[in-house]
A = this chain, B = another copy of it.
Amino acid sequence: MSVRLDVLFGAHEVTPQDVSGRVVAVIDVLRASTTIAAALHAGARAVIPFASTEEAATRARGMDRDAVLLGGERKMLPIPGFDFGNSPAEYTPKSVGGKTLLFTTTNGTAALVATQGARDVVVASFANFTAAGALLRAALRGGNPVTLLCAGRDGHFSLEDAVCAGRLAKHLVQRNAKVQLGDATLACQLLAKKFEHSLARVFEQSEHGRALVEAGFARDLEICATLDAFPVVPVYHDRQVTKLGPDLVR
């Protein structure tokens, strides 16, 4: 019995059969996936994604203000009145330890919401590559089809998410001949091979990477290109992302 491994390039591409009963990885390398991994690694209790800044702010007002923080971006920039932007370095044990983060970003949130009906959802990036990969590899080994859902940018393909998906795919199919690859998976593997030895070069070539440098976020790119900087397995379940592991088993 073969098992499928597919890649999608944006939430707009998702049909029910792409996620239903599958294990799905949401990949938004620049920067939501990386920042979520950073926040959970720093000890945030949970990250709750919201589609709009208004929804996040409204929910915050209904909660104990000492226990929640607001984070995210619009057009790459911090949102007025929010505690944090979308830079992973802002999320430290001191700033988010024990807190619940209400989080809204342009592309990452849409991708998380699009996974409805999935068996399991993990948030993946270069910064938690091996940890997220372990969960996905176990899923494939167990015969569960896997979908790598790139968040993309404004409904379009983004190079860095595709390269991360391709690198994950290569990592997952090693010594597993039963995996059946979709065209997009194959294409991403070819792209990942091109950037195998320098993740920083992906950002130099991607439009989002260049836009972030222009907006003054070059330091974020260094973190987003650091393999296994935040070795956590963030799982999305019941509309929140929590860390899978000994201290927070679902």
Residues of A within 8 A of B (CB): 6-10, 12-13, 15, 153, 155-159, 162, 182-184, 186-187, 190-191, 194, 205-208
Query: How often does this chain occur in the complex, in copies?
Result: 2
Most-contacted residue by chain B among A7, A13, A187 (CB, 10 A): A187
CA distance A94 to B158 in the complex (A): 47
Which of A6, A10, A157, A158 has most chain B Cβ within 10 Å? A157
- Pairs A-B, 6 closest by C-beta atoms: A157-B184, A159-B183, A183-B207, A158-B183, A183-B206, A157-B183
Find the B residue at minimum CB distance from A181. Answer: B207
Contact residues in B for A184 (Cβ distance below 8 Å) = 156-157
Q: State in angstroms the CA–CA spacing of A155 and B155 once bound together.
A: 14
- Shortest CB-to-CB span from A176 to chain B, Å, is 19
Report chain B residues within 8 Å CB of A6: 156
Residue of A6, A8, A13, A183 most packed against chain B (CB within 10 A): A183
Chain B residues within 8 Å of A206, by CB: 183
A-B contact pairs, 9 of them (CB 8 A): A6-B156, A9-B157, A13-B13, A153-B183, A156-B183, A156-B184, A159-B187, A162-B187, A190-B191
Q: Smallest CB-CB separation from A7: which chain B residue?
A: B157
> Which B residues lie within 8 Å of A187 (CB)?
157, 159, 162, 187, 191
**How far, in angstroms, from A13 to B155 measured CA to CA in the complex?**
7
Query: Which residues of chain B come closer than 8 Å to A191, judged between CB atoms?
Result: 187, 190-191
Complex-state Cα separation, A12 to B13, whole angstroms: 7
Complex contacts, A207 vs chain B, CB 8 Å: 182-183
Q: What CA separation (Å) do A153 and B190 show in the bound complex?
A: 20
17 more A-B contacts (CB under 8 A) besides A190-B190, A190-B194? A7-B157, A9-B13, A9-B157, A10-B13, A12-B13, A13-B13, A13-B156, A153-B183, A156-B182, A157-B182, A158-B183, A159-B183, A162-B183, A183-B206, A183-B207, A190-B191, A191-B191
Distance in Å: Cβ of A209 to nearest Cβ of chain B:
9
Chain B contacts of A205 at CB under 8 A?
186
Bound complex: CA of A162 vs CA of B188, how far in Å? Answer: 12
CA distance A208 to B205 in the complex (A): 30
